[in-house]
Chain A
């Protein structure tokens, strides 16, 4: 995959490779963007929602099972992030937007909004 970003290779292979690279980027972007429109049963797990509003994650602690999908919905008027360092990172979730994460690995994940000092949450995956 990294080769597609190599300028040398891009130069050698020309337009078809660029189109392929673009298509793959689009495909790669789908799980990152986490379209909430996808039905929960596709991953075999339950769907959960965490609301981001008033500079808080609600519920502050959420316990789910492996394979469940968790969607953070930003109801504030400015961006937030959902970031568990080295584990998962939504990057900026715009006002009114959402981000979905499939909880694949069991564990306890403390996360923060990297943009605002006081915002913390916890995801427990059983």
Chain B
């Protein structure tokens, strides 16, 4: 399981590294990364809300859906206001593919195995997105409002990561 988390982290990380190697993303590319990153976690949350066994895991999934939907609404609204058309790029594509692989994997699991796999992925996902925010997205954002939005939502990703880690350690003890 732990190995799978690292592999997944590497998948997410490779997209970020690729974008890094190709130069800093533009604002339309950042918009695509933000919207995709949120959508991937909303989709996983919707699956987990249905399939999760533990009440704590279900509640976490519901929180992910609500919080990331709120962030996405703000991101889409800002993109429209700034006339930014989200532009697909290696990082957003990598996030999307990673999300689809996660859903495919989770779909075949049930019970505690599902809960552990979902939470392990949530830990890896939030770590990767935080890494991207700090190293690529926030430093690259040119528009002040876009940068401010990224800075504003960063603490939510930290809180979600801490929350996921708490559940992960609880599940490990079961």
A residues lining the B interface (CB < 8 Å) = 53-56, 76-79, 95, 115-119
Contact = CB atoms under 8 A, between A and B. Distances in A.
B139 to A, nearest CB: 19
Nearest to A115: B63
Contacts, number: 41
A53 B159 contact: no
Interface in B125-174: 152-156, 158-159, 162-163, 166
Given A53-B152, A54-B152, A77-B153, A116 B159 contact: yes
* Dominant SS among interface residues on chain A: loop
B73 interface: yes
Interface of B: 63, 66-67, 69-71, 73-74, 152-156, 158-159, 162-163, 166
What are the 10 A-B residue pairs with the smallest beta carbon separation, nearest first? Answer: A78-B70, A77-B70, A55-B155, A78-B67, A54-B155, A117-B163, A77-B74, A116-B159, A55-B159, A118-B159
B159 A77 contact: no
B166 A117 contact: yes
Given A54-B152, A55-B155, A55-B156, A118 B70 contact: no
A55 B166 CA distance: 17
7 contacts: A54-B154, A76-B70, A76-B152, A77-B156, A116-B63, A116-B163, A117-B159
A77 B155 contact: no
A119 B160 CA distance: 12
A118 B166 CA distance: 11
